[in-house]
Amino acid sequence: MKKKSEPSYYAKKIEPTVVGKGISVPSLIDGCFTSFNARNVRNACQLFAGDIMKNNATVGMSVSGALTPAGLGRSCLIPLIKGGYVDWIISTGANLYHDLHSCLGYGMYEGSPAADDCALRENEVVRIYDIYFKSDALFDTDRFIRELFREHTFPGPVSSAEIHNVIGRYLLKKWPDSHEYSVLAAAAKMDLPVHTSSPGDSSIGMNLAGLALEGKGPIIDPNLDVNLTAAWVYNAKKSGGRTAALILGGGSPKNFLLQTEPHIQEVLGLKEAGHDYFIQFTDARADTGGLSGATPSEAVSWGKIDPAMLAHTQVCYGDVSVYLPLFTAYVAGQAKKRKPRRLWKNRRDIIERLEKAYRRSAHRGK
């Protein structure tokens, strides 16, 4: 009796590279990350350095968790920005606030999660799990933000990206080398927009709220951020390109990045299919129903991910602080640097394209 035609179960044999002195990160990942979450990381690295870069996709990156206090801003986020691997960012405000401390001369120090927090409080030490820093860093950073925005005026409400660009440009002016250690300075140097999904949920927002009691400071209009982020995506697609979502952690920044497609399709009534690529590093589980554990296939049901591109997605379960340095080293070693898109510099033309499309849409006014 003839056997049925079956797929090959033995197409790719596991033959790991022997780890030795001097092995490069790309060789380590390609040759040794063969199974379980290690293979997920390998697939994510290969997907990003391969299809995403070769197709010159416009990459939006979301950032949550205490990445800048852990040093990952300087070690990973800035190289991704400067290499042209990322085109726009959604971040928690906290990451952007703590990004400023180094510009003011404050460092972060290795500590202990088992510390006596009452003793730390008495000694004016602030703790983020196993990271210590001086409480003066908070007060001086608060003062820096208030002084900057007492002097800098705006003709009307602005997006959070406008606020962050003003900060970044000021850092570059005051400390010309700040792009080497500040995410906001590096982003401003590359004309890369940095948004936050919750403008009031950080010390930057708290200080702007304090200024409002003086009748000073900017008014942030989240509607501008919603439309701008959708415009980055719409412009890329209508220019014949593809888009990718690189998600570090989860939370509100994840949704703000992915909701760009439902905003284009569902609210604005413009024809679109969803993001083309999706990579997430997360420690959240899907079975609790939380957003951070939501899978790419779940995102398809919302129109966030193009169903035809579902095979070009990858979730890596684990700690971002472990995976991100490996991912960054792999990308830097395997993908060529790209010319920056300078979306912020071209924002008026890009948002105008979205506005014109919406005015032509039959969905308008319904």
Which residues are catalytically annotated?
A: 304
Beta sheet of 88-91, edge-to-edge order:
194-196, 88-91, 58-63, 243-248, 277-282, 313-317
Name residues whose C-beta falls within 8 Å of residue 311's C-beta, 6 or more positions apart in sequence: none
Largest CA distance in the chain: 87
Beta strands 109-110 and 125-128, pairing class: unpaired
**What is residue 220's DSSP assignment?**
B
CB contact at 8 A, 220 and 158:
yes
Environment class of 360 (CB within 10 Å of its CB; exposed 0-12, middle 13-18, buried 19+): exposed
**Strands, E assignment, the chain:** 58-63, 88-91, 109-110, 125-128, 131-134, 194-196, 243-248, 277-282, 313-317
Q: Give φ, ψ of 48 to 5 degrees.
A: -70, -50
SS3 for 133?
strand
Environment class of 51 (CB within 10 Å of its CB; exposed 0-12, middle 13-18, buried 19+): middle
Q: Give φ, ψ of 281 to 5 degrees.
A: -110, 115
d(CA 111, CA 143): 26
